[in-house]
């Protein structure tokens, strides 16, 4: 009876979902073939309505940026996107919302999506259910305070760390988890290698349905972005918003194809 009482005392959510920690990874695209990832990751994303790639039969691209702090280049990125009429999604932290409110407002006013990157950027698998919800809600509340909008629905887990539990809980909070199928090490600000390096890093990985992860702290990205957009359009690619991706409601399985 004592054992039975102890089991009842343990919160039910402890056993509801696996909290095995996963670090997002993908196998890079070559020759414009779709990037791939572990089948168990694909299965989890399908189960909890997350994304890492779009429809690989169509030459659509989804441009996303992670914004933990400002390094002086987001304004230039926004200038390029405005000039080229390209939509993007910016995943912001609490620090960014407090420190760069004008840039966040500009993102919204110019038609971009602002997504949730958590308030403190923690490993979400290492925090309680209550803390996870708080991390997301604080970002949402501050975003609504700044913009008057109640449309925050996309989440990028900090550092790409996730579990079945974090996917399930964030989905219950109304979020679509968005990972990526194209990225390179662009966030190290003291190891920038020039706009040509950024251009080559993106162009050699691109594929139909790419969800691109870039960081606007990168000087290289800001300088290369216009050329990237122009040359990808010349190759027949179109830039779409995450809303377009989700409205199609498809996650292809390139491993099984």
Q: How many residues does the chain have?
A: 257
**pLDDT at residue number 13:** 53
Q: How far apart are CA 175 and CA 50, in angstroms?
A: 9
**pLDDT at residue number 15:** 56
Full-model pTM = 0.91
**pLDDT at residue number 5:** 40
* pLDDT profile of the chain (257 residues), mean per 10: 39 71 96 96 97 96 97 98 98 98 98 98 98 98 97 98 98 98 95 96 97 97 98 98 85 42
β-pairing verdict for 22-23 and 161-162: antiparallel
Helical H runs in 48-73? none
**pLDDT at residue number 8:** 39
Contact 52, 44 (CB under 8 A): no
Helix, strand, or coil (residue 46) = helix
Q: What are the angstrom distances between the C-alpha of 156 and each of 52, 91, 165, 211?
A: 10, 7, 15, 12
Active site residues: 66, 215
CA dihedral 34, 87, 157, 173 (to 10 degrees): -120
**pLDDT at residue number 16:** 83
**pLDDT at residue number 1:** 40
């Amino acid at each position: 009876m004592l054992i039975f009482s102890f089991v009842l005392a343990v919160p039910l959510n402890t056993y509801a979902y696996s909290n095995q920690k996963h670090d997002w990874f993908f196998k890079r695209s070559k020759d414009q073939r779709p990037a791939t990832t572990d089948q168990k990751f694909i299965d989890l994303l399908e189960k909890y309505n997350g994304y890492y790639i779009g429809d690989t039969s169509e030459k659509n691209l989804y441009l996303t940026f992670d914004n933990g702090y400002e390094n002086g280049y987001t304004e230039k990125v926004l200038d390029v996107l405005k000039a080229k009429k390209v939509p993007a999604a910016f995943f912001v932290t609490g620090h960014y919302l407090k420190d760069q409110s004008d840039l966040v407002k500009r993102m919204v006013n110019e038609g971009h999506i602002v997504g949730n990157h958590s308030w403190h950027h923690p490993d979400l698998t290492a925090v309680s259910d209550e803390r996870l919800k708080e991390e997301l809600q604080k970002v949402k509340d501050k975003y609504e305070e700044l913009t008057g909008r109640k449309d925050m629905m996309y989440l990028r887990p900090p550092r790409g760390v996730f579990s079945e539990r974090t996917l399930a809980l964030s989905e219950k909070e109304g979020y679509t988890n968005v990972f990526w199928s194209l990225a390179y090490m662009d966030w190290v600000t003291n190891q920038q290698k020039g706009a040509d390096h950024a251009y080559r890093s993106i162009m050699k990985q691109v594929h139909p349905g790419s969800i691109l992860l870039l960081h606007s702290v990168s000087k290289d990205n800001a300088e290369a972005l216009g050329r990237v957009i122009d040359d990808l359009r010349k190759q027949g690619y179109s830039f779409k918003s995450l809303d377009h991706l989700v409205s199609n409601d498809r996650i292809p399985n390139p491993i099984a194809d």
